[in-house]
Structure 1
Amino acid sequence: MDDSKQQSSYAIQDLLNNIDIVSVIKNYINLSKKGQNYWGLCPFHGDKNPSLSVNSNKKVFKCFVCGESGNAIKFVQKFKKINFYQAIKEIVEITNYKTSVIDKFLNSKINSNEIKMYDMNNQACFIYHRTLFNSSNADKLKYLLSRNLTQDLINEYKIGYAPNSSDKKYLFSILTNEDNIMGEDRDASLVWSPIQLVNNGLANLNDNNEYSDFFWNRIIIPIFDEHNNVIGFSGRALNNDEKIKYINTKTTEIFKKENVLFNFNNFDKSIYEEIFVVEGYMDVFAFRKMGIKNVVASMGTSFTSNQINLIKKYKNINSIIICFDNDEAGFKATIELAQKLYNHNIKVFVVAPYDKSYKDIDELLKSNDKNTVLEVINNQISFISYLCIKMLSDKSLTNKEIVLRTKKILDNVISYSYDELTLDNDLLLLSKFSSISVDALNQYIKKELNKNKKEVDSNIKNSNKYFSFPIEYNIPRLNIKTKPLKEILNEEKSFEVKEKDLFKIVAINTYIAELFIKNIYHSYFQSDIKLKQIFTELIYFAKILIDNSIDVNPENLLSIIKLKEDEFDKPLNELVDFIKSIIAYYNKYPINNKSIIYQGVSLILDLVMKIQQEIQKIVIRENCENVYDEYRNISNQYDKKIKELLSIKNNLQKG
């Protein structure tokens, strides 16, 4: 995520955290308090008894009849039928919540080109959807209903139809008001130039400078971003013999399919711990028809890191259930996605293989009742169990083929899904399929893990210096005959938080690690003994890497810990978990190296200045000449450190 997008995300979250959702929604509907929640008539369906609940603490609304839910922005956006940024602007005006961050954010967005593109897409979405219900297109509506969609789902997803007009300019003519087709008095805000349509992927321009619709004679499925903005469309062919079944909007300023998950906007992510991942739109609709909301599909490509990070923004979501097509291509895609998810520290489950005569859940639902399909979906197994079933079920396999496939499964265990909690059950199943003993499988795993460890050891040991830095847990504090520094501090939690933030950077950046060791190596601010111990250990291993001209990063830290852990008289599990949490954090918030270094320098400067202040307090408290002399010498050292750090910070600010 680049800096501007991260700042936008912070601005939105800051607004949601600081406004009262009840006060916002009361501007549009009447609410009455009952118990801990507020209740009102839901404006999103024909509600006669108050079924919309608003929770002030959780800052969410939910209708217990139609299922609509979300935060204050989504409510205003849906109620007023305006785009995401216009909804934020309205909330700011209602609540008078104004900060420089939110003002800058709104000023950059409200009149931006992307807002115009959202508005254009909203118009196109409305036109396509309305066209589907024209009497002349009754056969197209009938086709959708035959595909297991319901009228409610068609309306909810705003599915439409791009007609096969003779000049292929149906949408183009309406949106540009060509030949005043929509009247001379057409509202100017609803009229767009031909080039705007081309840039937004709604029209084509050929070599003869002739315009035409991008979509024609296709069912149109609008694609929304996580903020409920229409960012593009997917057109499905009506004829199954068509070579290209789906075509998507081309890449535009607002639509990049590698950044989007279909249906991610359509459910409250904060209430689920797991998400189903399917291949296509029709599978999403099949899940929704069975009452399952927490389901997403990629945009016709293999999953990208951006799509995974989109999910990881929601910390409560800790596992993914893969339900790809029930064929060989789906099998390969499942392996690819599972491996990517494991690399992002996300738990993986897979819907067990089912009747091969059905390609996917959509087909299964056409021929079976809802409960039968739900049984299939609820039969979720581990990734290794899935591999066993898919790779070893064939009774015609030779012994050699079984051994080779078993090795491939074990390689997945070692590289991706090694989990001591599930390993025993996975190996029991693998032993059953392969007829290889559990002991033999375990031996292979241990052998490969040792081989991997030796390779890591070799890479580190081949560096140009020898590990000579001694292990020291009790690193000496300032050489002053008085109370320890931490006992003098006034339990200022802000500095403990700053120190924790700093150590996230120390673990990923060699320069900041070196700067920390040079300036603050002897002092820690944590009152939490366990956390202080983790930081002390982290600096020890970081210094080993630095002394051996090896970059300080989480991967190298984990490698050196594994190499040196036998030298310690206790496990280093807490340190390893802390480093893994840093990996997870920066997967979610990708690193901008310049801003990371600036933040690290700023934090070191703050902590160094605080240490100098505390040393001065010691002098005042002790009120003796020896302490004063010691302070004067140390203070001079800290003055020099502070000047150097300020100079570094100023240079970074200048770029």
Structure 2
Amino acid sequence: MYFLNMAKISEQSIEQIRNRADIIDIISSYVELKKRGRNFFGLCPFHNEKTPSFSVNPDKQIFKCFGCGAGGSSIDFVMEIEKLDFVESIKYLADQYGVEIEETHTISKGQDITANIHEMNQNTLQIYQQNLFNEQNKSILSHLTNRGLTEDTIKKFGLGLSSTKKDFVLKSFQGKYNSKSMLSSGLFVDTKYGYIDRFRNRIMFSLFNITGKVIGFAGRAIDKNENAKYINSPETQVYNKSKTLYGLHLTKNEISKQDSAIIVEGYIDFLQLYQSGIKNIVAVSGTAFTDGHAHLLKRLTKNVLIAYDGDSAGISAAIKASYVLLKNGLKPSIIKIPDGLDPDDWVLKEGAEPFMDSAKNALSVIEFSYNKFKNGPNENVADFINETLLELAQINDDVILEINLKLLAKCTGISFESIKNNFSNIIIKKEKRDQYKKTETNVALEHLSLEDDLLMLCFSKDKKIRHEIYNNFNLNWMRGEQSKRIYKQLFVHLNSEFEPDASIILDQLDSKEDHKKLASIVFEVDKMTPSILMAKNCIRRIEHIYLKKQLEHYRNKLKNAEDSFKEDSNLILKISEIQNKMNSIKSSIA
């Protein structure tokens, strides 16, 4: 059974999902995979890379990135990419593959931190919202409605108001949750006087994950003298700002339906446009646009319109976001916003129609950035071309690349041949840098330990090898706690006629780091040519290392022993036994 998020999911339900949910099918909706040998490879969705190091093994139903170390089962992938907990991921996959899951609510409060954070966030939203609609705060509510927001919109998106008091939220949770959960939630700050509310005297915007769970908050200062206009929740077990798009939980279906997404910078921008009828929209959540944001959108559409503020900072941010989208295989365009305005002001002043007209005439990033260059102080077109080519060098899709190189030639009036030659020179330099980095990475990688070798041998197709380990290896010989945890789960499968199922073992391990470790082990199995002799030697070497440590322990004990003949004799005898055993093992290793 699996206990998470106040729920218990039956093994039968998980087994059904595991049988129906093919890992290639799941990951292909996020990553473009290409078959190479037995495995499939693509660019890792969890870190920025140019050369594919993300591998998926369809036989074992696991994935592994050799760049950042991410790895695990299809459930792990969904948890990581969608920032969901275990139960949410099971439900997510169950919905996709038409599996009915058995669930009971049995876990006690305080037992699971992730579940506690979700529960505290949901309760905090209600506390903030009740405070906003409190009669004494009607001036703040009026401020929002005067900005054009309706009460329905305010409630739908979980807007609220934090108090000036330091314990306004805190007092609701004290005694209900353990201190680790409370601090992990990001709702409180630990001071020398104890915990206090993180958000005070701010208009609060609730942040949701793609399934609609509250994962964090952003607070806008009411007092104009506040140093920080906005403060956000810190990153937690449920909130990652680089993988969160504001409003996506309610707009994802419309984005998919229209095959187009509009990105804005601010929460109010989003709310104003959504309220005016523009429903295929998201906002970045207190951060620059990232690869993680691009991956979220890529599942729904490849067509993205950027509508950032019309000032200098907004224009620069729009260009940067466009290049992030391009290198992730999407098709960005930039909407021209009137100088000095933001989308909120524009739509509030003139309605949605002018905005949508401008959207129809949105420019490519090449055209938009060239217009910016023409209106700027730098008159050297070569500088603009080289800066643009450096950005385009991040693109892996040859078709998208050629389209943009041709656009660059057209805008600048420089021949396509010259642009292409210049680009080739940049690529040669880039490849040299990438090769150097790759060599450095390979040198830094540690060789798998003997314990890793043993764990690999546990997945051997030869049952004689597995039985050799089952009958002759002692768990206590292992030094690594992680190796011990993995071996404990493997042990019961070693005496079977069939090799262990990696995806089942993964689901039985609780730690994310254990999942990564096991994925690494499984991906190395095919590189090994296992034999009974290899298994015997591996077992003996591990035991020899264990005995060496024991020998050191008893020698130290003898050294520090009090003047007792009996005790000394026992220790000397023990040391002699260990030495004999070590010599025997040493002579038996082939």
Short-chain TM bin? 0.5 to 0.7
CA change 1:140–1:461 in 2 (3 A) is closer
Residues 40-439 of structure 1 mapped to structure 2, 5 A cutoff:
85=88, 88=91, 97=100, 112-165=112-165, 168-176=166-174, 191-192=176-177, 196-209=181-194, 211-269=195-253, 270-312=256-298, 314=299, 316-351=300-335, 353-358=336-341, 360-394=342-376, 400-413=379-392, 416=395, 419-421=401-403, 423-428=405-410, 430-431=411-412, 436=413
In the TM superposition, what is the alpha-carbon distance from 1:380 to its structure 2 partner?
1.7
* Partner in structure 2 of residue 617 of structure 1: none
8 Å CA contact retained: 1:320, 1:348: yes
Q: Deviations over 1:590-629 (max 9, x none)?
A: x958626725756x99xxxxxxxxxxxxxxxxxxxxxxxx
In the TM superposition, what is the alpha-carbon distance from 1:262 to its structure 2 partner?
1.7
Q: State the secondary structure of the residue aligned to 1:268.
A: helix
In the TM superposition, what is the alpha-carbon distance from 1:426 to its structure 2 partner?
4.9
Deviates more, 1:380-389 or 1:198-207: 198-207
Paired letter, 1:387: S
Q: Deviations over 1:124-153 (max 9, x none)?
A: 111111221111111111111122212221
Distance 1:246 1:97 in 2: 42
Residues 447-466 of structure 1 mapped to structure 2, 5 A cutoff:
447-452=421-426
Residue 420 of structure 2 is aligned to residue 446 of structure 1: yes
CA change 1:366–1:240 in 2 (3 A) is farther
8 Å CA contact retained: 1:278, 1:324: yes
8 Å CA contact retained: 1:218, 1:236: yes
In the TM superposition, what is the alpha-carbon distance from 1:424 to its structure 2 partner?
4.3
CA change 1:164–1:275 in 2 (3 A) is same
CA change 1:368–1:134 in 2 (3 A) is same
Distance 2:432 2:193 in 1: 64
In the TM superposition, what is the alpha-carbon distance from 1:447 to its structure 2 partner?
1.9
In the TM superposition, what is the alpha-carbon distance from 1:443 to its structure 2 partner?
3.2
CA change 1:460–1:111 in 2 (3 A) is closer
CA change 1:407–1:110 in 2 (3 A) is same
8 Å CA contact retained: 2:131, 2:161: yes
Residues 545-584 of structure 1 mapped to structure 2, 5 A cutoff:
none
In the TM superposition, what is the alpha-carbon distance from 1:302 to its structure 2 partner?
2.0
8 Å CA contact retained: 1:414, 1:445: no
Paired letter, 2:338: D
Q: Deviations over 1:484-527 (max 9, x none)?
A: xxxxxxxxxxxxxxxxxxxxxxxxxxx9xxxxxxxxxxxxxxxx
* Highest RCO, 1 vs 2 (Cα 8 Å, sep ≥ 6): 2
Distance 1:205 1:421 in 2: 53
In the TM superposition, what is the alpha-carbon distance from 1:212 to its structure 2 partner?
3.0
Distance 1:153 1:15 in 2: 39
Distance 1:452 1:311 in 2: 30
Paired letter, 1:447: N
Distance 2:197 2:264 in 1: 30
* Partner in structure 2 of residue 468 of structure 1: none
Q: Deviations over 1:412-437 (max 9, x none)?
A: 45654954346545533x14xxxx4x
CA change 1:238–1:450 in 2 (3 A) is closer
The gaps in structure 1 that reach 5 residues or longer are 19-82, 178-190, 463-510, 512-590, 606-640
Distance 1:263 1:245 in 2: 21
CA change 1:455–1:86 in 2 (3 A) is closer
* Partner in structure 2 of residue 534 of structure 1: none
In the TM superposition, what is the alpha-carbon distance from 1:163 to its structure 2 partner?
2.4
Distance 1:234 1:279 in 2: 13
Q: Deviations over 1:35-60 (max 9, x none)?
A: xxxxxxxxxxxxxxxxxxxxxxxxxx
8 Å CA contact retained: 2:14, 2:90: no
Distance 1:274 1:646 in 2: 59
**Count of residue pairs brought into register by the alignment:** 381
8 Å CA contact retained: 1:234, 1:249: yes
Distance 1:392 1:318 in 2: 29
In the TM superposition, what is the alpha-carbon distance from 1:297 to its structure 2 partner?
2.3
* TM-score using structure 2 length: 0.54
Q: Deviations over 1:41-99 (max 9, x none)?
A: xxxxxxxxxxxxxxxxxxxxxxxxxxxxxxxxxxxxxxxxxx9759949x99xx99459
Q: 1:598 aligns with which of 507, 522, 526?
A: 522
CA change 1:379–1:200 in 2 (3 A) is same
CA change 1:594–1:318 in 2 (3 A) is farther
CA change 1:646–1:206 in 2 (3 A) is same
* Partner in structure 2 of residue 526 of structure 1: none
Paired letter, 2:519: S
CA change 1:326–1:14 in 2 (3 A) is farther
Distance 2:389 2:435 in 1: 28
Distance 2:311 2:15 in 1: 42
* TM-score using structure 1 length: 0.49
Q: Deviations over 1:212-263 (max 9, x none)?
A: 3222211111111122221111111124453311111233332332332222
CA change 1:460–1:317 in 2 (3 A) is closer
Considering only aligned residues, what root-mean-square deviation do their CA atoms show, in Å? 4.6
The gaps in structure 2 that reach 5 residues or longer are 22-85, 437-447, 449-514, 543-590
CA change 1:593–1:426 in 2 (3 A) is farther
Q: State the secondary structure of the residue aligned to 2:246.
A: coil
8 Å CA contact retained: 1:231, 1:254: yes
8 Å CA contact retained: 1:15, 1:97: no
Paired letter, 2:221: A
Distance 1:381 1:410 in 2: 18
In the TM superposition, what is the alpha-carbon distance from 1:406 to its structure 2 partner?
4.3
Q: State the secondary structure of the residue aligned to 1:267.
A: helix
Q: Percent identity?
A: 23
Paired letter, 2:153: L
Distance 2:184 2:402 in 1: 52
8 Å CA contact retained: 1:234, 1:248: yes
